Structure 1
Amino acid sequence: MGGTVTLRRALLATTAATVLAFLPNTAQAAVSYPDPQPITGQQIIHDPTVVRLKSGGYVAYSTGGVIGARLSKDLKHWDDAGNAFAEPPSWWYEYNDTGDPWAPDISYRDGTYWLYYAVSSWGTNHSAIGVATSPSGRPGTWTDHGKVFTSEKTDTWNAIDPAIIKTDGRLWMTFGSYWTGIRMVQLDRTTGKAVQGATVHHLATRPDAPYAVEGPYIVKHGRYYYLFASYDQCCAGVNSTYKIRVGRSTSVTGPYVDSTGKPLLEGGGDLLLEGHGRYIGTGGESVFRAKGHDWLAYHYYDADDEGTPKLGLNQLHWKENGWPIAL
């Protein structure tokens, strides 16, 4: 029976991908949104970032705890693995009273795992992005290196929700939440921190206050860079309106546009995934590579479980015109 169900799911996914490949990107919403793949074990998570470990298996880090950790051997069953840190570094308390970090991003380069994260308080842009390193990527092995980039109330951006991309020999960090949207700075490849006097590039925003776009993530596919971001309201359980939109550019610093040519700096962005059925407020996304495919990781609020935030995983498929769809 299990084999039959697996085969049926595979056939349905293939059929959907074939149909969607011939539709305009904006037509996906009219077809359907995919449910996340079934998972077991510890499903509760918020703002997930996932990587395959060199030692085998996968780790997911998230908002909650002192950067909460989950481990999996197969992307299907997840176990609670404690936290990245045993206790908050002392400097975190400059940005909130509880030493509570948000929205981590894990990456691997030059033989080292790098974990970026944000520290702030709700409703302010007195915020900081920090970085830690680990030889294994596993919880409990991280060494914190302090602040990467900060923002103050006089700035027109908010230094939270970091995500890293390395391209053409350079290292970049996207970030941003409300406060005119998504930004980017170049990082020093050795320290992992912002280049002194780095230009703050502007990648995406909304036409009107409060500029509800955050949680950026950039992936290169073919000759384009794809900017994924979460739009609208997070963190309100079943009342959340989070959704994931995407635009692309031939340059990592933009300008990014959607499939109609509308700039993301003017509120553009193709709708990739939004709430449907029990899966409310899909967002806080990241993208990772596993099993020969690109995968979209995100959280949703489970309407069948009092709005509990849970892990969503879907494969990303790239259509003939280059635009992504979630399967």
Structure 2
Amino acid sequence: MTLRSTLTAAAAATALALLPNAAQASVRYPDPRPVTGQQIIHDPSVIKLKSGQYVAYSTGGIIGARLSKDGKQWDDAGNAFAEPPSWWYEYNDTGDPWAPDISYRAGTYWLYYAVSSWGTNHSAIGVATSDSGLPGTWKDHGKVFSSETTDSWNAIDPGVIKADGKLWMAFGSYWTGIRMVRLDPATGKALPGATVGQLATRPDLPYAVEGPYIVKHGRHYYLFASYDACCAGVNSTYKIRVGRATDVTGPYVDSTGKPMLEGGGDLLLEGHGRYLGTGGQSVFQDQGQDWLAYHYYDAEDNGTPKLGLNRLGWVNDWPVVK
């Protein structure tokens, strides 16, 4: 590096340090991929179907659905279900489902979701199956796992992964953070008497971590989670953090070695510019490329929650948003 380039770099660094936080964040984080059509979404779970279409399921409606032919233009496709299954009303008066997770296994699409009410851990996770993965084709199979007010965890925000021939579900929101339970591959439901492990938490109340999603890359498993507060429009402080482990059940640590059970987790993506409160994330693959799907609150549209999509790269075996 020449003296001139050294001075230029130093000047740029000084200028960056003087920028407002939002401007610094804009330099640090790339904007989401431009999308058109029905952009409004919350807690998106995206997959590319065998048909070649993309589908995104989300919180809102009876598990709201969006369809796309190219991953850029998204169209409203109604809901996963025509009517809420009757058992949902045990957990809220409106039969309102949250935070779906779609996956494909053994020739079948599996859709996990949560039903609960704001501020309580009287909650349950359910599952449905479909041959095509399209809205309107799902058959519900009832409860997978539940929690009561006497439990120290909250059974919402499911994220399912198959690892070493076993099926696992990460879940959790606030209370004592992120938990994990083993599932029966045949039914997709929690094994009777299965131990509930713990993957991540915060050192202080209210343990604001939720929305787990686990992927495998190379020899590691990576736990993505949303930290801090969602659902407050432009006042949302949601951000995505990540840790990794050599075993799907943990322990997960960040790049400094700090355990996620002690509040660790590398900051992957946070609000910047107009894109505030980034979280509710999931990861999907398209032609060998990993993509991060999430929602953000649009500061230039009254804090409306919208779909964020970014390529996910890997540098020194850690994920990087592109």
User: Normalised by the size of structure 1, how large is the TM-score?
Assistant: 0.90
Match of 2:108 in 1: 112
Residue-by-residue CA offset, 1:13-47 (whole Å, 9 max, x unaligned):
xxxxxxxxxxxxxxx97961110000000000000
Amino acid paired to 2:128:
A
Residue-by-residue CA offset, 1:61-82 (whole Å, 9 max, x unaligned):
0000000000001110000000
Match of 1:139 in 2: 135
- Determine if contact 1:67/1:102 at 8 Å carries over to the other structure: yes
Q: Determine if the alignment matches structure 1 residue 252 to structure 2 residue 241.
A: no
Question: Could you tell me how far apart the structure 1 residues matched to 2:192 and 2:200 are?
Answer: 23
- Determine if contact 1:29/1:271 at 8 Å carries over to the other structure: no
Deviation at 1:292, TM superposition (A): 2.2
Match of 2:317 in 1: 322
Amino acid paired to 2:66:
R
- Determine if contact 1:61/1:70 at 8 Å carries over to the other structure: yes
Question: Could you tell me how far apart the structure 2 residues matched to 1:258 and 1:214 are?
Answer: 17
Deviation at 1:222, TM superposition (A): 0.5
Deviation at 1:122, TM superposition (A): 0.1
Match of 1:303 in 2: 299
Residue-by-residue CA offset, 1:256-311 (whole Å, 9 max, x unaligned):
00000000000000000000000000000000001320000000000000000000
1:158 equivalent among 150, 154, 157: 154
Question: Could you tell me how far apart the structure 2 residues matched to 1:289 and 1:196 are?
Answer: 32
Match of 1:294 in 2: 290
Residue-by-residue CA offset, 1:155-193 (whole Å, 9 max, x unaligned):
000000001001111100000000110000000000000
- Determine if contact 2:42/2:60 at 8 Å carries over to the other structure: yes
Aligned to 1:93, the other structure's residue is in SS state: helix
Q: Which stretches of structure 1, 4 residues or more, deviate above 6 A after TM superposition?
A: none
1:67 equivalent among 63, 70, 82: 63
RMSD: 1.1
Aligned to 1:125, the other structure's residue is in SS state: coil
1:176 equivalent among 164, 167, 172: 172
- Higher Cα Rg: structure 1 or 2? 2
Question: Could you tell me how far apart the structure 1 residues matched to 2:175 and 2:293 are?
Answer: 25
1:100 equivalent among 71, 96, 108: 96
Amino acid paired to 1:109:
R
Aligned to 1:304, the other structure's residue is in SS state: coil
2:309 equivalent among 291, 298, 313: 313
**Equivalent residue runs for 1:169-318 within 5 Å:** 169-318=165-314
Aligned to 1:305, the other structure's residue is in SS state: coil
Amino acid paired to 1:50:
V
- Determine if contact 1:163/1:175 at 8 Å carries over to the other structure: yes
Question: Could you tell me how far apart the structure 2 residues matched to 1:291 and 1:62 are?
Answer: 23
Aligned to 1:123, the other structure's residue is in SS state: coil
Match of 1:35 in 2: 31
- Determine if contact 1:255/1:263 at 8 Å carries over to the other structure: yes
Question: Could you tell me how far apart the structure 1 residues matched to 2:320 and 2:187 are?
Answer: 35
Deviation at 1:57, TM superposition (A): 1.2
**Equivalent residue runs for 1:52-91 within 5 Å:** 52-91=48-87
- Determine if contact 2:25/2:272 at 8 Å carries over to the other structure: no
Amino acid paired to 1:229:
A
Residue-by-residue CA offset, 1:212-246 (whole Å, 9 max, x unaligned):
00000000000000000000000000000000000
